[in-house]
Structure 1
Amino acid sequence: MRALIVVAHPLEESFTHAAAARVKATLERRGLAVDLIDLYADNFDPRLTAAERRAYFTAPHDYSAVAGYADRLRLAQKLVLVFPQWWFDAPAILKGFFDRVLAPGLAFTHAPGGGLTPLLTQIDALWVVSSTGAPWWAARLVMGDPVRRQIARGVKPWICPKATFRMLTLHNMDRFTPAKGSVFLDRLEQAFQRF
């Protein structure tokens, strides 16, 4: 079983990286092969190029500029996204990963007559580990949990519709304490025992 973790945070000492490390260690202890993509360390360019956009509806789609990521995604049976929420959204670099790597010919094909046909059907779990400065009630009740909706309703159904989905979020990071972080990391370890 192979899991792919995609991390999006510019600071190596961030809580996001600590969470990714805990998830990776937990999965490896369970015997899973784990591949980790650190988008910032890779200096991933999130900008969809003019050529990529022009070719979006042309088969076969040319995703040679992101072929290494495409190959790693094809091998994944489980996908974990680890990132902070900034302004109630995923970091731009992760959105760029969606735009450039979750592309036609790799993540889906355009179905005749409209719609999309998912291609990453080998992925049986798509989980999100996130944090936000806002308290839970602001993220959910005031903003409507936009990141959860984007990934659960706007990404997963079109690339791996049968995958399980779970989102684990540490809220109120603006009032972060090491004790609060430790409790959340332990919660991640317990959750990923059943991933």
Structure 2
Amino acid sequence: MHALVVVAHPDPNSLTHAVTARLAEGVSGSGHSSEIADLMAEGFDPRFSANDHAVHLKQAAPSADVLAEQARIDRADALVLVYPVYWWSMPGLLKGWIDRVFANGWAYDEIPGGKLEKKLGRLPVHLVALGGAGQGTYERHGYFNAMKTQIDHGIFDFCGARIVTSEFLLPPDTQDLSGYLETASAIGGKLFQAAEQVEAA
């Protein structure tokens, strides 16, 4: 099986990229394949253009870069997003990728009469967010629930995609960051475990 791992961070030497690489290694180590989509390195344009708006209204065809991203997702058996938490959400680059790629008619279909067809029911999604604040801050201010409502439910459930992993990697009590990488490797290693169990049954 094949995973598309999308990462949004400007620094290729960042912990976010290290976590991404270790997660992909975990996927490979379990006998599956992965592709890393580095949105910054690839120069993806996150700006929602007039053409994107026309696509939303079903008055135009998606641009070539959006079609290419949709094709990558269509080829994948799982989608993984790895990103730093910026202002208690995902970076603008990743949000713009979702704004443009998860388009009306592809990720969901707004049907006249107010009905909605969710079109990504086949797609398991794994979210790995790296935060700069500690557990107490997230709990005290309700950021865990706010982010899950906004991202897990507001984006992916709207399209019918099933959230399998929604992991927050927060700063440890020590300077030892190896736990981040171990967690990433474990997530990658277990990415297709449920599907394998179904096939074996």
Secondary structure of 2:41's aligned partner? coil
Secondary structure of 1:169's aligned partner? strand
More helix by share: 2
Structure 1, unaligned runs of 5 or more: none
Query: Are residues 1:50 and 2:56 paired?
Result: no
- Please state how far the C-alpha of 1:119 moved relative to its aligned partner: 1.7
RCO higher in structure (CA 8 A, sep ≥6): 2
Supply the distance in 2 between the matched residues of 1:191 and 1:39 (Cα, whole angstroms).
21
1:74/1:120 contact within 8 Å kept? no
Alignment of 1:92-103 (within 5 A): 92-103=92-103
Q: CA RMSD in A?
A: 2.0
Secondary structure of 2:42's aligned partner? coil
Supply the distance in 2 between the matched residues of 1:35 and 1:143 (Cα, whole angstroms).
34
1:60/1:105 contact within 8 Å kept? no
What letter corresponds to residue 158 of structure 1 in structure 2?
F
Cα deviations by residue, 1:44-97 (Å, 9 ceiling, x for unpaired):
111000121133121665343411111101111111000000111110000101
Query: Are residues 1:128 and 2:124 paired?
Result: no
1:85/1:91 contact within 8 Å kept? yes
Comparing 98-107 with 62-71, which one deviates more in the overlay?
A: 62-71
Secondary structure of 2:56's aligned partner? coil
Supply the distance in 2 between the matched residues of 1:139 and 1:76 (Cα, whole angstroms).
32
Supply the distance in 2 between the matched residues of 1:142 and 1:66 (Cα, whole angstroms).
36
Partner of 1:22: 22
What letter corresponds to residue 67 of structure 1 in structure 2?
L
Supply the distance in 1 between the matched residues of 2:174 and 2:82 (Cα, whole angstroms).
18
Partner of 2:83: 83
Report % sequence identity.
Answer: 29
Supply the distance in 2 between the matched residues of 1:16 and 1:130 (Cα, whole angstroms).
9
| Count of residue correspondences | 190
1:135/1:171 contact within 8 Å kept? yes
1:88/1:139 contact within 8 Å kept? no
Query: Are residues 1:33 and 2:33 paired?
Result: yes
Q: TM-score, normalised by structure 1?
A: 0.88
2:25/2:188 contact within 8 Å kept? no
Partner of 2:189: 193
Cα deviations by residue, 1:169-195 (Å, 9 ceiling, x for unpaired):
12138x772x1x101211222233322
Partner of 1:183: 179
Comparing 146-155 with 37-46, which one deviates more in the overlay?
A: 146-155
Structure 2, unaligned runs of 5 or more: 192-201
Partner of 2:194: none
Q: TM-score, normalised by structure 2?
A: 0.86
